[in-house]
Amino acid sequence: MSQLYIWVVLAVMYLPMLVVVAYSFNSSRYSNWEGFSLQWYEELFNNSAIVDTLNNSLMLAFFSCALAILLGTMGAVGMAKSRFRTQGLLENVSLIPMMLPEIILGMAYLALFSLCRVPFSMITLIIAHTTFCIPYVFVSVQSRLVGLDPAYVEAARDLGASQTRAFYDITLPLIAPAVLNGALLAFAMSMDDVVISFFVAGTNSQTLPVQVYSMLKSGVTPEINALCTLMLVAVFLAIGLFGLGRALFKRASRG
């Protein structure tokens, strides 16, 4: 009974995606099935708008994540070592972007960048995305640090490591999984963001989600189905590879 419920929910979750996969191979532009075809994939690759915006989005997610990893990890590590009056305030304010409806942040950037006469471009996008990516890294690293036994670092110091050395030898490797976790989440968020990008992207720096949004709004677009199918394949491939890698690692470390 309970198993059945789980499967029903998962089926409902995957139903729309299965429909999309099926329709990506439909030779008709409309909903009735007229036979198998790969023409939408061909059109997808020939659609320069999609290819360009996909490039933009990947670049944007990469740079935002990198910056967020840097700022978020350094911040979380530093906060754990610091005691200052505005600490609680800083922590809560830096987490706001995760909590606020995105549209408010989007409008804030739109207004501020216009005021400062900063042209909307990849730079403004990276600033905006980094801002909402930081909390995912920060929170993930922070909770790992809280659970980290201080005795590890103390043991390293006791054995002759300087403070800096102990950080690189002990703390960093031990929080690395948390950094990765936060970064993966941040990457997904950046790749998926419509609302903020909608406000701060320049004409030459449109992101994929915004592009898909305007295409979906304007009408029937079977290329999107092909795109979605490819993304689905990529995600499951990545999960598969990840699982395989972990299994191999486990076997290696057991032997």
Question: 38 or 74, CB closer to other proteins?
Answer: 74
Q: State yes or no: residue 235 binds other proteins (CB under 8 A).
A: yes
Query: What is the size of the binding site for other proteins (CB under 8 A)?
Result: 110
Distance CA 89, CA 246 (A): 39
By the rule CB under 8 A, 32 interacts with other proteins? yes
131 binds other proteins (CB under 8 A): yes
Residue with tokens 């800096």: 164
Return the residue of 46, 51, 119, 158 that touches other proteins, per CB under 8 A: 158
Residue 204 within binding range of other proteins, rule CB under 8 A: no
105 Cβ contact partners less than 8 Å away, ≥ 6 residues apart: 97, 128, 131, 132, 196
Position among 159, 203, 218, 251 found at the interface with other proteins (CB under 8 A): 159
Q: Which amino acid is at 134?
A: I
Task: For residue 119, give the amino acid letter.
Answer: P
Residue type, 55: N
**Residue 253 CB, nearest approach to other proteins (Å):** 6
On whether the CB atoms of residues 191 and 62 are closer than 8 A, the answer is no
Between 126 and 205, name the residue whose CB sits nearer to other proteins. 126
Q: Which of 49, 70, 241, 248 binds other proteins (CB under 8 A)?
A: 70
- Residue window 160-189: x/- pattern of binding to other proteins, with contact defined by CB under 8 A: xxxx-x---xx--xx-------------x-
Residue 248 found at the interface with other proteins (CB under 8 A): no
| Inter-residue contact 121 to 197 (CB < 8 Å) | no
Q: CB-hemisphere CA count at 13 Å for 92? A: 3
231 binds other proteins (CB under 8 A): yes
Query: Which token pair is 194?
Result: 């419509």
CB atoms within 10 A of CB 94: 19
Binder of other proteins out of 38, 155, 180, 244 (CB under 8 A):
155
Q: Are 179 and 197 in contact (CB under 8 A)?
A: no
Tell the smallest beta-carbon distance from residue 10 to other proteins (Å). 6
Question: Which of 49/100 has CB closer to other proteins?
Answer: 100
Site for other proteins contains 31 (CB under 8 A)? yes
Binding test (CB under 8 A) with other proteins, winner from 50, 145, 179, 224? 224
Half-sphere exposure of 107 (CA within 13 A, CB side): 4
Check binding of 149 to other proteins (CB under 8 A).
Answer: yes
Query: Which positions from 73 through 92 interact with other proteins, judged by CB under 8 A?
Result: 74-75, 77-79, 81-85, 88, 90-92
Per DSSP, 204 falls in state: T
Radius of gyration of the chain, Cα coordinates, nearest whole angstrom: 23
